[in-house]
Amino acid sequence: MASLGQQAPVAGNGAGATATIEVENPATGELITTVPVLGAAEVEAMAARARAAQPAWDVIGFEGRAQVLRRAQKWMLDNAERVIDVVVSESGKTVEDAQLADLGYTVSALGFWAKQARKYLADERVPSWNNPVVAGKKLIIRYAPAGVVGVIGPWNYPIANSFGDCVPALAAGNSVILKPSEVTPLSSLLMEEMMRECGLPEHVFQVATGDGSTGAALIGHVDCVMFTGSTETGKSVMKAAADALIPCYLELGGKDPMLVLADADLDRAANAASYYSMNNAGQVCISVERVYVEEPVYDEFVTKVSGNISRLRQGPPTGAGAVDVGAVTFPPQLDVVQEHVSDAVSKGAKVLVGGHSRTEAGRFYAPTVLVDVDHSMKIMREETFGPTIPIMKVSDCEEGIRLANDSSYGLQASVWTKDVERGEQLARRIEAGVVTVNDAQMNYSALNLPMGGWKASGLGSRHGAAGIRKYTKVQSLLVTRRAPKREPHMFPYRARRTMMLRRAFKLLYGRGSRD
């Protein structure tokens, strides 16, 4: 891999900022660089520049914006190694995790929104012929850009879950200010550099590096906020959005259950459980966080998963194929993972694989398999966000569904069975925004399929029509072409016309046949 420190993108908007953040490589503990913490005044100035730049970006139209997004797509592919290097350096994830999600997802998203924005945001004609009160009038729904969109992102996917949410906002004609996690700001700064090189007009996309206070300040200056992060911070964001009276969309934490039925393809289920609990070192909002297995296949499933996970290689990601599981990106997360494992063990859980942090220079937690777990344990109820897989035996799928739903979260879930029709019926009974049958996480690649959490996992969704319309203001247009000089309901009021209108209402709605 290329030298990471030399390629670190530079924060360009820090004039006036005094505090800085040290960005370190979690896999080695090395300092990469520092970036400024932007304060309220800098964020306000940034928002003013974004607001001034937005109308011209809107006027460029869908095709003009699509051209810039397609150039960015090509730029990312041409600079794939650099993009992956920067993500890997500040997150400590493997090259493969960075490539699949941060690079792969984002190039796909750039192409998708370049093409689909026009379709999802085209004017819609609403019929008027079926309503005699407005018959003959032209009714239109129009999606106008919100204006300046604030995107606040987490550290687990420094590009996919931060810049990824900016792409549809830009495609819709907005200016965007991205506040990345303080742990992983360099990937976002690289995206800012990319968009500049790809011809995006100045100030249409800006990155506000900083900490939580920078994010909080941003909410007061934008027209809409898209937040991805923890449920606790999400609540603060929503309160701040309420004060600013702006819409906010929240993609929050999860505790995704996996339900393995006795008739499942056990090899596939075990391989998927191993991968989807450990990819990105388990730091995935839609990670398999807990597994329920029907009693007849429980032992075999546990043996297969334990075998898979004990073979995983972990350590600093020095290049493609070097390791399977990377570092813990966010320092306090290591304590959360250890606390959940210790809590489970103290209540009777058994560690089959791993169960400890590692002692290298970097920050690692060994891939861990736990059994004899139950819902008294944090590891089954709170988001662990680390390389752990607790597996619980259930007597039947009814118990599995009950336990799957015994959670404050409702982001995603999966059901595993060869009887796909039954699987689909069971999926509909799980309280989650997305449920997959014989799969997990792959829905994230279906950009035309909405993805969003229920319960404490979020509000609103990304992807699909809703994933771009949320960045717009809906404007309804009613256009009257031909009409009399005065209509029957207009002044002056006359008893005869009042009664005539009442008879008309009876005629139209008396039989309950009209809307």
**Binding residues for ligand NDP (CB under 6 A):** 152-156, 161, 179, 181-183, 211-212, 215-216, 228-230, 233, 236-237, 251-254, 285, 330, 383, 385, 411, 453, 458
Looking at the Cβ atoms of 102 and 294, the one nearer to ligand NDP is 102
- 382 carries an active-site annotation: no
Looking at the Cβ atoms of 33 and 156, the one nearer to ligand NDP is 156
- Smallest distance, ligand NDP to C-beta of residue 280, A: 10
- Smallest distance, ligand NDP to C-beta of residue 385, A: 6
Own/partner pairs for 12-16, CB < 8 Å, 24+ apart?
12/189, 12/192, 13/38, 13/42, 13/46, 13/206, 13/207, 13/208, 13/209, 14/38, 14/42, 14/209, 15/42, 16/41, 16/42
Nearest to 291 by CA among 413, 408, 432: 413
Whether the CB-CB separation of 403 and 394 falls below 8 Å is answered with yes
Cα(358)–Cα(164) distance, integer angstroms? 32
Catalytic residue from among 90, 96, 182, 251:
251
- Smallest distance, ligand NDP to C-beta of residue 420, A: 26
Structure tokens of 319?
């290049």
Burial class (CB in 10 A: 0-12, 13-18, 19+), 213: middle
Looking at the Cβ atoms of 354 and 386, the one nearer to ligand NDP is 386
Q: Which residue is nearest to ligand NDP (CB)?
A: 215
List phi, psi (to 5°) of 45.
-65, -40
- Smallest distance, ligand NDP to C-beta of residue 112, A: 17
Nearest to 73 by CA among 125, 116, 22, 113: 113
Looking at the Cβ atoms of 66 and 334, the one nearer to ligand NDP is 334
Looking at the Cβ atoms of 152 and 302, the one nearer to ligand NDP is 152
Q: Name the CA dihedral angle for 55, 61, 64, 68, rounded to a multiple of 10 degrees.
A: 60
What's the count of helices (H) and strands (E) in the chain, helices before strands? 18, 20
- Smallest distance, ligand NDP to C-beta of residue 237, A: 5
Catalytic residue from among 248, 285, 383, 397:
285
Looking at the Cβ atoms of 161 and 414, the one nearer to ligand NDP is 161
Whether the CB-CB separation of 321 and 329 falls below 8 Å is answered with no
- 285 carries an active-site annotation: yes
CA Rg value for the chain: 26
- Smallest distance, ligand NDP to C-beta of residue 177, A: 12
Tell me the catalytic residues: 251, 285
